Amino acid sequence: VLTGSVEESVEAADASAVVLGTLRRDEDEQRRFTLALAEAFTAGLAVQWPVSGRVADVQDLPTYAFQRQRYWLDGSTAAASGDAADPEESRFWAAVDGADRGELADLLGVDDTSQLEGVIGLLGPWRRDSRERSEADAWHYRVDWKPVTEAQSVSLSGTWMLAVPDGDTAHPWAEAVESALSAAGAQVVRLTVEADCDRDLLARRIAEEVGTLDDAEPAGVLSLLALDETRRPDHRTLTAGPAGTLLLIQALGDAAVGAPLWCATRGAVQVPGAETPIRPEQAQVWGLGLVAGLEHSDRWGGLIDLPESVDPQTLRRLCGALVGKQDEDQLALRQSGVFARRLARVSRRRLHDRPEWQPRGTVLITGGTGAVGGRFARWLAANGAEHLVLTSRQGRSAPGARELESELTALGVRVTVEACDVADRDALAELVDRTAADGEPIRAVIHAAGTTDSAPLADTGLDLLAGLTSAKVRGACHLDDVFRDTDLDAFILFSSGAGIWGGGAQGAYAAANAYLDALAQHRRARGRTALSVAWGLWGGGGMADGEVGERILSRGVRVMNPDQAVAALAHATAADETTRIVADIDWEVFAPQFTAVRPSPLLSDIPEVGAVLEEAFGAAQGAAAGAAPSALLDGLTEADQYLVVLDLVRAQAAAALGHSTPDPVDPDRAFRELGFDSMMAVELRNRLNAVTGLRLPSTVV
């Protein structure tokens, strides 16, 4: 009776004190007393258990480091595995899985268990294959474009900064957009950006322009820099559009401009049935923008793709998109309407629209000596290819190249391992011509070359952007050019989920992969075969083994079994779509983290996402609607305010680290010791901005 009162009294003096009761109505006294001892023991009191007279049932702990959190699944094995609720059916499949002849004989009423050898031999492999196919089928996604309601009346206010490229590249659009913004009520300040601009100079010019405004800062920034597809004078492998967009994102941050940045492209994405010519170079800006929305959510507006020609209706729709009242931040404007980008599952009936690609003759694999390229080389060798040409920058000197060559040769195929940088068009063309001169022209191409270095956008220089995009972008461009007039059986580009939804510290990587998806659409529009597969996280080597892989894993993208991933490519070749996403995503983890600081309509058509987000954020949104964040500190003493803010920071730090509670975040340990990297620091800053209403710098952590 008194335990509750004692707790209230003691907690006022010592919050760490523990109060225990040894008696409770209707409970066994010996059990309750033993439980009280156990509670005391877990609170730190040394208990001499043998004296209690009870014999403990000792249970083995898991062999991994004990984290004091239950991870075992609740429910029956049958329910967890998706089997039918019928217990007899569950027993049957359990016996098949375990090759339990006695159990199976009992279920089937068979006396001679030897009769069951053939049954188990047939059903066991079939069931395993069926499960694997079912699991891999759930990895297939596609990008859809959903019509959205247009704003009937558009009114802009304040000052809008319009960033336009120098020269005549975007002249018609620049003039028309400036007039449209002004007609909608905005005061427009034009910022002309030269093709060879640098970050520091651009930041100073932005600061000077903002200093002349009547308002504290612009209401928004609209960039047309993506429309410039000329080469940068100082980086010939880069076009001015993505390079200038990266510098603009950085310079706006350097100049402390918090206004939302919108980036417009023309033909960077494909809307089925509402087409405009595809421009792969501009698609890189979409990759950069997807990452900017994650790393700089507080000052990001969105991406808008324009049609080929200027007309009044498109300009009105553009101004309506900038108002942004529906949280839509990935839009395509076409003659037939406004379309919003969505991620959608591929239904199983659409996995096999036509026969799968059957390899034959000579197949070229760029990046063929790497972990992923090597996997597909083995699959090609086992499925009809007669000659494999594997390229990489190091050729036979690459780690594991000689062993892979021997393994493939043993499978009965001819193997050529070449040191060829596909970013060098002349070297690539020479290799292709030499292969054809030997009487074995290349019949299919798989482009798996690329690098995976990472850095936040704020730390990504043009050298890094050029290096990360060279192999993927320039290599794919050269492959397309060299095989422009060749009737190939397959032209397959290995893209990444980073080009679909972005990824922290993956701005340059996302830009390169967005280019591959657009290039595949560009080839298909010209009547050539093309397929771009945006992969999730591969097991068995590659990105999954490094720091980037660990970060992706913590965000809910699971490692795919490499053998199942290889089989998934065969399914993808049977689809009519030009692009396909193949990824194993845990939406219960991915969706809350992806939308923690910014809503994402991109995910809204995934069935399980809605329920996950409602559960994760429903209570938090309800609380936020009741009072401003600053009210958390109203009426508190300075000491209590400190504790409230400390709890808030620990909770958000735990979320950024992937912990379910703040307990692992020790207030006396440095963030770096807790496992924070630069990308997690940016995420924590974004989370703190969202819950406090402050605008903290990216360096706050």
**Contact present, 221 and 302 (Cβ < 8 Å):** no
More confident site: 3 or 267: 267
**Contact present, 339 and 271 (Cβ < 8 Å):** yes
More confident site: 102 or 366: 366
pLDDT at 81 over 70: no
Could you tell me which of 496, 588, 596, 600 has the C-alpha nearest to residue 548?
A: 496
pLDDT at 43 over 60: yes
pLDDT at 54 over 70: no
| CATH top class, domain 628-701 | mainly alpha
Output the pTM of the full model.
Answer: 0.78
Q: How confident is the model at residue 614 (pLDDT cuts 50, 70, 90)?
A: confident
More confident site: 679 or 503: 503
Q: How confident is the model at residue 71 (pLDDT cuts 50, 70, 90)?
A: low
Q: Which CATH number fits domain 146-345: 3.90.550.10, 3.40.50.300, 3.40.190.10, 3.40.50.11460?
A: 3.40.50.11460
3-state secondary structure of 645: helix
Give the per-residue pLDDT at 122.
80
Average pLDDT over residues 634-654: 88
Give the per-residue pLDDT at 55.
58
Chain-centroid distance, C-alpha 300: 18
More confident site: 495 or 454: 495
User: If you average pLDDT over every residue of the chain, what do you get?
Assistant: 87
3-state secondary structure of 316: helix
Give the per-residue pLDDT at 261.
97
What is the spatial distance between Cα 672 and Cα 670, in angstroms, rounded to a whole number?
5
Q: How confident is the model at residue 78 (pLDDT cuts 50, 70, 90)?
A: very low
pLDDT at 35 over 90: no
Instruction: Count the neighbouring beta carbons within 10 Å of the beta carbon of residue 554.
Output: 15
pLDDT digits 0-9 by tens, 98-143? 888 888 888 888 877 777 777 777 887 777 777 766 778 889 999 9
What is the spatial distance between Cα 626 and Cα 298, in angstroms, rounded to a whole number?
22
Q: How confident is the model at residue 63 (pLDDT cuts 50, 70, 90)?
A: low
**Contact present, 473 and 515 (Cβ < 8 Å):** yes
Q: Name residue 481's amino acid.
A: D
Does 355-585 match 146-345 at the fold level?
A: yes
What is the spatial distance between Cα 448 and Cα 413, in angstroms, rounded to a whole number?
20
pLDDT digits 0-9 by tens, 293-317? 999 998 999 999 999 999 999 999 9
In the numeric block, which tokens belong to residue 402?
């000689």
In the numeric block, which tokens belong to residue 418?
């070449």
Half-sphere exposure in the Cβ direction for 237 (13 Å, CA): 22
pLDDT digits 0-9 by tens, 108-118? 888 777 777 77
CATH code assigned to 355-585: 3.40.50.720
Highest mean pLDDT among 74-83, 365-374, 536-545: 365-374
Measured over all CA atoms, what is the biggest interatomic distance in the chain, rounded to whole angstroms? 95
Question: What percent of the chain lies above the pLDDT cut of 90?
Answer: 54
Q: How confident is the model at residue 192 (pLDDT cuts 50, 70, 90)?
A: very high
Going by the DSSP 8-state scheme, the letter that residue 220 receives in this structure is: E
**Contact present, 529 and 488 (Cβ < 8 Å):** yes
pLDDT digits 0-9 by tens, 580-592? 999 999 998 899 8
Give the per-residue pLDDT at 82.
44
The helix (run of H) or strand (run of E) holding residue 464 is: helix 462-469
3-state secondary structure of 223: strand
pLDDT digits 0-9 by tens, 414-468? 999 999 999 999 999 999 999 999 999 999 999 999 887 788 999 999 999 999 8
pLDDT at 538 over 70: yes
For the chain, give every domain's residue range. 3-52, 77-137, 146-345, 355-585, 628-701
3-state secondary structure of 537: strand
Q: How confident is the model at residue 621 (pLDDT cuts 50, 70, 90)?
A: very low
Could you tell me which of 164, 255, 256 has the C-alpha nearest to residue 202?
A: 255
3-state secondary structure of 419: strand
Average pLDDT over residues 695-700: 77
Average pLDDT over residues 502-521: 95
What is the spatial distance between Cα 171 and Cα 189, in angstroms, rounded to a whole number?
16
pLDDT digits 0-9 by tens, 658-672? 787 888 899 998 888
Q: Which positions ≥6 away from 69 have C-beta within 8 Å?
A: 660
Give the per-residue pLDDT at 179.
96
In the numeric block, which tokens belong to residue 540?
């068995």
SS3 annotation, 97-164 = HCCCHHHHHHHHCCCCHHHHHHHHHHHHHHHHHHHHHHHHHCCEEEEEEEEECCCCCCCCCCEEEEEE
Average pLDDT over residues 690-698: 78
Average pLDDT over residues 356-370: 95
Give the per-residue pLDDT at 169.
75
Give the per-residue pLDDT at 59.
65
pLDDT at 275 over 50: yes
More confident site: 440 or 85: 440
Highest mean pLDDT among 25-29, 33-37, 201-205, 470-474: 201-205
**Contact present, 330 and 501 (Cβ < 8 Å):** no
Give the per-residue pLDDT at 597.
78
Q: How confident is the model at residue 45 (pLDDT cuts 50, 70, 90)?
A: confident
What is the spatial distance between Cα 422 and Cα 391, in angstroms, rounded to a whole number?
8
Give the per-residue pLDDT at 134.
72
pLDDT at 536 over 90: yes
pLDDT digits 0-9 by tens, 395-429? 999 999 999 999 999 999 999 999 999 999 999 99
Average pLDDT over residues 561-577: 88
Give the per-residue pLDDT at 424.
95
What is the spatial distance between Cα 347 and Cα 607, in angstroms, rounded to a whole number?
12
The helix (run of H) or strand (run of E) holding residue 300 is: strand 300-306
| Beta bridge partners of residue 143, listed in sequence order | 343
Q: How confident is the model at residue 72 (pLDDT cuts 50, 70, 90)?
A: low
Judged by phi (left if over 0) then psi (alpha if -120 to 50, else beta), residue 635 lies in left
Give the per-residue pLDDT at 350.
60
More confident site: 623 or 154: 154
Give the alpha-carbon dihedral of 306, 222, 339, 610, to 10 degrees.
Answer: 150
pLDDT at 26 over 70: yes
State how far the alpha carbon of 699 is from the alpha carbons of 186, 290, 487, 680, in Å.
Answer: 33, 21, 53, 11
More confident site: 374 or 699: 374
